[in-house]
Structure 1
């Protein structure tokens, strides 16, 4: 009996390269079944944003919880009545279901977003 893991159960990639093909999303329900990156439990996004980049529209009626971590840059997550500035590498914000939000990049920024669960039907970044 072999303890070797089949190649089909391992995926090795680059977040910048792989994310470019799916609006930054690396893992979630939208990846093909059988792909190690397919998940109905969680979604992960590698977001690279030029200065001044903004979310196209507010996310409203959110049914997921989210974590956004600043890798580099200056990034603002906007909530109704409150803005959160992420300015130091590792700064993060978590918000829950029902929290409307948007975002903007004050400087060239890279962020990692984790959302759960992975819900079909959401396409806007």
Structure 2
């Protein structure tokens, strides 16, 4: 059996994997491997945006603003997260994109953890 406790730093551990800390992409023998959930520590400079819309989503997502000002674009509305602790949840099947209005830190939790969703790195607009 692998580790039963892992201690790390989200900024350091997520740096090599686009901010993702926990999910199917972690080596199977690590405690951070999960097919149930994914967790991301997202650090976004001002003007950074998702490279393209996520479509055909098969996961539920929770996104919590830790710091900054962050916009989540959904098909029927835009959600602006401006106060630490603001959050949005969207269901499977809801397309989305995002944009960092100011330097922002967000915590994202998605479930389940499914392979095949990697997109191009974010872009500055």
TM over 0.5: yes
Aligned residue among 22, 25, 32 for 1:30: 25
Q: Please list every run of at least 4 consecutive aligned residues from structure 1 whose deviation after the TM superposition is greater than 4 angstroms.
A: none
User: How well do the aligned residues superpose, as a CA RMSD in angstroms?
Assistant: 1.3
- Output aligned runs, 1:1-125, within 5 Å: 8-124=3-119
Given that 2:2 and 2:31 are in contact with CA atoms closer than 8 Å, whether structure 1 keeps it comes out as: no
Q: TM-score, with normalisation over the residues of structure 1?
A: 0.93
Distance 2:11 2:104 in 1: 13
Residue 81 of structure 1 deviates from its aligned partner by: 2.8
The count of corresponding residues between Structure 1 and Structure 2 is 120
Residue 7 of structure 1 deviates from its aligned partner by: 7.8
Secondary structure at 1:11's aligned position in 2? coil
Distance 1:98 1:13 in 2: 33
- Segments of structure 1 that go 5 or more residues without pairing to the other structure are 1-5
* Residues 79-122 of structure 1, C-alpha deviations (whole Å, 9 max, x = no match): 11310000000000000011000000000000000000000111
Q: TM-score, with normalisation over the residues of structure 2?
A: 0.93
